[in-house]
Structure 1
Amino acid sequence: MAAGAVAEDMSDLAARVRSLMDLQRGAPLKLPLGGALFDIVVTGSGPEAYAAVHLMDEVQRIPGARDDTRACGPVIEDPEHDRLIWLVPPGTRESWEPHRYATCLGAPYTLALPPLEQTEPPGPYWLRPCRGDRLVPAAPLADLLGRFQPGPIPHEELLGESLSTIS
């Protein structure tokens, strides 16, 4: 590589570092979906969705953990739009079967994550915390959503106010 040239994959490193610093200061973090981080599954919120969250706590419970440990992977609640945003493994969008009660999104979308310490309204907040050791597994999630049928049913074109595309 020529002196002074910037590697293509490093072109947005400064922006990502600034975003991470903003997150540490309590500001929202905007991250691209897909790639190596995560995809998302968007559902309605409400009693049916909360039932799925509580059962996912059981599915993801760590053996030997305290009974009150919430083990579900990261879930964001957006009370203004009555939806839950489940962070699922990267690549889920490619294998996600069409689902009546959920929309799965990856690249080219970006998502603004709430500050890590935001665990209640106002605004979007972490219903289940973002931890480095887990995401929500897609297959059990799809099964639970089919079982509990949370609504209203999200559609990709209706999610524009909380998602953007990478330009």
Structure 2
Amino acid sequence: MTALMADAETAADQPASEQEDRHLLALIRALLATEQAGGEARAALPLGGTFDLVVTCDGMAAARALRAMDEVQGVTAGVVRLPAPGLLLWCVPPGTAAGWAWHPAALCVGAPYAVPLPGPGADSGPGPYWARPFAAAQRVPPGPLRALRALLTEYGPPPPHDRVAASGLITISPS
């Protein structure tokens, strides 16, 4: 996490594309350190620099939306399944949270929040794992993001808001 904070401090003097590259590099370092530690102690990674998250409840309705998004995008990128508390975290472009309108089946979070994520090789449970692998160049872009909202409306997973609040999953990122 120290490397992540150091990278963030030096990024302010660089052009936006270099800042995003440095933030992504810091994210990858943190994820690799987590994987080398056995994937149990996950670092809380700051949102907003590399991606924001759309959070939905997991279950049959969310599984149908996930399969439908695979068809819309080819393969849905960056979706974390959290068996307990039963949530899906969809990686979306940074800044999405700022323009996200309220939705009964989803919420969107970005900076200044942080969330623990599994290591890059975690592709099965029983704990948190990547239901769709994170790819730096592949996030849910604007067109499919509108499709995701529509699919969540159509399939109607339960509201995640209380589960997220009770889980303590999303925290304020240290500056």
Give the TM-score normalised by structure 2. 0.75
Deviation at 1:87, TM superposition (A): 0.6
Cα distance in 1 between the residues matched to 2:7 and 2:153: 44
The structure 2 residue matched to 1:51, chosen from 46, 64, 71, is: 64
What's the % identity of the aligned pairs?
37
Task: Indicate the residue corresponding to 1:133 in structure 2.
Answer: 137
In structure 1, distance between residues paired with 2:84 and 2:139? 24
In the alignment, the residues of structure 1 paired with residue 161 and residue 97 of structure 2 have an alpha-carbon distance, to the nearest angstrom, of 14
Flag the structure with more relative contact order, 1 or 2, with Cα contacts below 8 A and sequence separation at least 6: 1
Q: Describe how 1:9-48 pairs up with structure 2 within 5 A.
A: 9-10=9-10, 16=26, 19-25=30-36, 26-27=38-39, 28-35=42-49, 37-48=50-61
Larger radius of gyration: 1
In the alignment, is the contact (CA less than 8 A) between 2:32 and 2:120 conserved in 1? no
| Structure 1 residues 10 and 158, CA gap change in structure 2 (3 angstroms) | same
Query: Number of aligned pairs?
Result: 148
Higher helix share: 2
Letter in 2 for 1:107: A
Alpha-carbon displacement from aligned partner over 1:7-61 (angstroms, at most 9, x marks no partner): 98328x8xx48625404525334321113x0000110111100000001001111
**Is the alpha carbon distance of 1:85 and 1:8 closer, same or farther for their aligned partners in structure 2, counting shifts above 3 Å?**
closer
Extract unaligned runs of 5+ from structure 1.
Answer: 1-5, 62-70
Q: Normalising by structure 1, what TM-score?
A: 0.78
Residue 106 (structure 1) aligned with residue 117 (structure 2): no
Deviates more, 1:23-32 or 1:95-104: 23-32
